[in-house]
Structure 1
Amino acid sequence: MGTIEVTVSEIGAAGARDARIRLVAADGAPLPAFDAGAHIDVVLPHGLMRQYSLVNGPSDRDAYEICVRRAADSRGASTWIHDTLRVGQALGISAPRCAFALDEAARYVLIAGGIGVTPLISMARALSAQGKPFDFHFYGRSEDDVPYLDVLREGFASGRVFIHLGAQGQRLRDALPDALAVPDADALVYVCGPGGFMDHLKAQSIAAGWQPSQIRSEAFAASAHTGPTDADGTFEVELKSSGKIFIVPADRTIAAVLGDAQIEMSLSCEQGICGSCLTGVVSGRVDHRDEVQSVEEKDAHSHIAICCSRALSPRIVLDL
């Protein structure tokens, strides 16, 4: 899929460490449609590419809005955006992709930690437009740590907003939100934030009686186990279209091996968090290491994130 040329139309503050950025199509046309929870790839100078969730609601196609937190351990992207990006600057982006979509439910519980609030604001806007009920819980250290504090305080037409601040003793580790105290078979829970935050919420919710299939999450960073390790073994990858077989050694990914062979494939984050490289599995079992697929999807072994996941079987046949 080709790159969409956009222009930075607005830059503002969404929090003490967060920059709110509006992007419009260079030709002035409406941008491609998207679902709440979607993200885009943003192509930055020097070959950097990063994924950012869309904050605006799906009905707003005049611009895409993203939010970028200045990261202390930045590999260059957030620092460049905060210090160098200016209104009027041209950028390239991908079309939106959504691996964190809203499924049908009677009601919703949205729970965000830190910058994980961004896709959930888009969801809240979409749900309000449809008149669907939801509770929105945000967890942060202090008011300065709340991106889009003004939006959350303003609230949403069909949802209730609760802001929990650690500085005031309101931490997730002390108690689950009231909305999760009693399991509701007709509800879905969407959570986004740091890995430890999401792991704790999922574990406590399941212990309270919620089904794992009711809890949906999206990661902003890869888990520590996504890359090849010394304990990984060698396996074979066969391509369905040609029958060609490739050896994937312990220290390389499927994507790296296929890339060396000039095999056409889709890649973006290369960390298992965006879903761009999910590839169909014809046969074989997968050692899943992505943060995109649900437990049920992983159990089906029907798709593999070739940027990070590996094979549990001696050979895996891909739909390539």
Structure 2
Amino acid sequence: MTQLSELTAGIPEPHSSASSELPVVVSQLRWEAEGVVSLRLRSRTGELLPRWEPGAHVDLILPTGIERQYSLCGPIEDRSSYQLGVRRERTSRGGSEYVHAFLRPGQPLLLKGPRSNFGFRRAAAYLFIAGGIGITPILPMVRQAQYWGAEWQLLYGGHTADSMPFLDELREFGSRVRAYPSDTVGRIPLAEVVAQVRPDLKIFACGPESLISALNEATAHWPAGSVHVERFKPRPRVRTEDKPFDVVCAASGRTVEVPAGRSILTALEEAGIRSAASCRSGLCGSCETAVLEGVPDHRDEILAENDRAAGDRMFICVSRARTPRLVLDL
């Protein structure tokens, strides 16, 4: 793999931002596993696509207007195209169903990003853990760790071998990759694998809530900052009694009341104040907003504990306030 800094030296960066829409076209659609397809997207104008890092995702805007987030899983050095993996969900709200049923090569789409909430960090050693389609953000991390010459191991679980995308591609890494199709091998033995703490090792994991919850429980004795996870969906939350509070928009000086049971984002929209947003569930990061005054009540699935404690940013689609007033950089 060509290192990013070596690859992009001297190449002008195309104009883009995490919130701007980039016109792309589907250049390839391929079956990767049972119920999983991969898409390859190229710029409609022929430009190089924006740089990205392992763990990044893009917001894909389908012709129906549906907007969904998918992890980038191709080689980071290939800026001629982006690769995504999409599993067909039985309870799909229309995104994965459209991709599988109607999307074809040559179809124009829009995307926003890339954006990285699952940032990859340099370490002496890595343990990667993936469940099902959770392999997509992990795959570029594996490639980067291999390039760096770091010690690493991947534990990859799924219902069956046929349902595990990119498994054939991963076989090139030999014994560093351990596959756990649950129908034949059983589940990943998390408690056994992480029983002994290794201060030099970082754990990166993505998968269903059952996997992430089990990992968090198994690593409760590890130092803070050792485990980095990305979830498919927000965790079930204990219901609390929300209290109304005021949001002051620093740019205009306008004050908007956020009532109980309504998000900051929704209250702002109803007041005619627009802000970038996509998933509206605290997963994608598109509504990240700087906090200038007040204490946020973080309810997202993105920030680490030290970032929450800093209190200088929040995701306004789900998070609220612990103080009667918040001043936001809006």
TM range (shorter): over 0.9
1:183 and 2:193 correspond: no
- Equivalent residue for 1:128? 146
**Cα distance in structure 2, aligned partners of 1:54 and 1:294:** 22
Match for 1:219 among 231, 242, 261?
Answer: 231
Percent of counterpart pairs with the same letter? 36
Is 1:204 the equivalent of 2:199?
no
Distance 1:220 1:60 in 2: 26
Choose which of 164, 170, 173 in structure 2 pairs with 1:146. 164
Q: Distance in 2 between matches of 1:236 and 1:292?
A: 24
8 Å CA contact 2:34, 2:162 repeated in 1: yes
Gaps (5+ residues) in structure 2? 1-18
Aligned to 2:91, the other structure's residue is in SS state: coil
Matched-pair contact (CA < 8 Å) for 1:43–1:93: yes
Amino acid at match of 2:120: L
Moved more, 187-196 or 35-44: 187-196
1:162 aligns with 2:178: yes
TM-score (norm 2): 0.90
Deviations for 1:14-67, whole angstroms, at most 9, x for unmatched residues?
110101111111122221110111000100122100000000121121210001
Looking at structure 1, the residues matched to 209 and 229 of structure 2 have their Cα atoms a distance apart, in angstroms, of 10
Count of residues in correspondence between the two structures: 312
2:312 equivalent among 299, 302, 312: 302
Q: What is the Cα deviation at residue 223 of structure 1?
A: 2.4
Match 2:82 to one of 38, 55, 64: 64
Aligned position for 2:110: 92
Structure 2 equivalent of residue 273 of structure 1: 283
Tell me, in whole angstroms, the C-alpha distance in 2 between the residues paired with 1:56 and 1:148: 11
Distance 1:24 1:287 in 2: 39
1:143-189: per-residue Cα shift (whole Å, max 9, x none)?
Answer: 12211111122227xx81111121134213x54353x2321111111
Looking at structure 1, the residues matched to 190 and 271 of structure 2 have their Cα atoms a distance apart, in angstroms, of 52
Aligned residues of 1:137 and 1:177 also touching (Cα < 8 A): no
How big is each residue's C-alpha offset from its partner over 1:83-142, in whole Å with a ceiling of 9 and x where there is no partner? Answer: 100011111111201011111211111101111110000111122222222111111121
1:180-223 deviations in whole A, cap 9, x for unaligned?
232111111111011221011011112xx312311111112122
Q: Structure 1: how far apart are the matches of 2:55 and 2:95?
A: 22
Inter-CA distance 193–255: structure 2 relative to 1 (3 Å threshold):
same
> What is the root-mean-square deviation in Å for CA atoms of aligned residues?
1.8
Aligned 1:72-111 pairs, distance under 5 A: 72-111=90-129
For 1:82 and 1:176, how far apart are their aligned partners in 2?
36
- Please name the residue that 1:245 is paired with: 255
Is the CA contact (8 Å cut-off) linking 1:56 and 1:125 kept in structure 2?
A: no
How far apart in 1 are the matches of 2:293 and 2:105? 49
In structure 2, give the amino acid aligned to 1:238: V
Which segments of 5 or more consecutive residues in structure 1 lack a partner in the other structure?
none
Q: Does 1:285 align with 2:295?
A: yes
Partner letter of residue 129 of structure 1? Answer: Y
Q: Residues 42, 96 of structure 1: CA spacing in aligned structure 2 closer, same or farther, 3 A cutoff?
A: same
Displacement, 1:266? 1.8
- Paired with 1:309 and 1:200, the residues of 2 have a C-alpha distance of 25
TM-score (norm 1): 0.92
Q: Are 1:193 and 2:207 counterparts?
A: yes
2:243 aligns to what SS in structure 1? coil
Tell whether 2:29 aligns with 1:11: yes
- CA shift for structure 1 position 255: 0.6
